[in-house]
């Protein structure tokens, strides 16, 4: 799975999400209409529901969606323009991404983990489990199958030079994080700290 956020300036940007899952996992657990611990994830396999998900919020511009099967996997590609960056990020549609000014011309982007099973998010600086299910062992096994052979790659590009981050810097304006949840159980418990500061 790959997610990209490209911030052009203080008000505009674009995003892309690309992912795939094994066809048997899709058929057995994630087919639209099935109720599983990952039910909130299933709408991304339906074009109309995905477009409605983003257009229901302010701040998003033109969107494109593609879903296809290849080999033994189901692939989804979502791309879109961000016409109002503060509103788009505040909507939570791209995750809990927080952008704040730090002074002296610097800004910080931070991705905060919130529980999927609680009614409210954590206090600033608090980390809660990323996924909570009644049968944690069974759900972790499902997630390992879901993520089998797949890495999660997050890429953030900012308009100016990066001065600090918790990821491996690709160049002066782009930073990337790579996770392997199929191998690392810690990722299934809580999201690692994701933070980038630029000026």
DSSP assignment of 21-78, as one string?
Answer: EEHHHIIIIISTT--STTGGGGGGGSHHHHHHHHHTSTTEEEEEEEEEEETTEEEEEE
The domain locations on the chain are 2-198
pLDDT tens digit sequence for 31-55: 555 555 555 567 888 899 999 999 9
DSSP 3-state assignment of 187?
helix
Distance (Å, whole) CA 166 – CA 4:
16
As a whole number, the mean pLDDT across the chain is 78
Distance (Å, whole) CA 65 – CA 48:
9
What pLDDT does 184 receive? 65
pLDDT tens digit sequence for 19-29: 888 888 777 76
pLDDT tens digit sequence for 107-147: 998 886 543 333 333 344 443 343 444 566 766 676 666 66
What pLDDT does 130 receive? 39
């Amino acid at each position: 799975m790959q997610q990209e956020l490209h911030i052009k300036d203080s008000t505009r940007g674009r995003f892309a999400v690309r992912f795939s899952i094994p066809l048997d996992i899709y058929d057995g657990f994630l087919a639209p209409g099935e109720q599983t611990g990952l039910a909130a994830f299933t709408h991304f396999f339906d074009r109309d529901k995905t477009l409605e998900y983003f257009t229901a919020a302010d701040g998003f511009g033109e969107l494109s969606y593609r879903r296809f099967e290849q080999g033994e996997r189901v692939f989804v590609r979502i791309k879109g323009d961000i016409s109002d960056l503060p509103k788009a990020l505040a909507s939570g549609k791209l995750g809990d991404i927080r952008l704040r000014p730090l002074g002296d011309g610097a800004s910080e982007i931070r991705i905060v983990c919130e529980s999927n099973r609680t009614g409210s998010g954590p206090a600033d600086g608090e980390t809660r489990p990323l996924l909570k299910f009644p049968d944690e062992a069974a759900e972790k096994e499902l997630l390992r199958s879901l993520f089998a052979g797949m890495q999660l790659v997050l890429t953030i590009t900012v308009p100016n030079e990066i001065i600090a981050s918790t990821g491996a810097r690709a160049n002066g304006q782009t930073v990337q994080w790579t996770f392997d949840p199929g191998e690392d159980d810690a990722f299934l418990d809580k999201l690692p700290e994701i933070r980038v500061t630029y000026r």
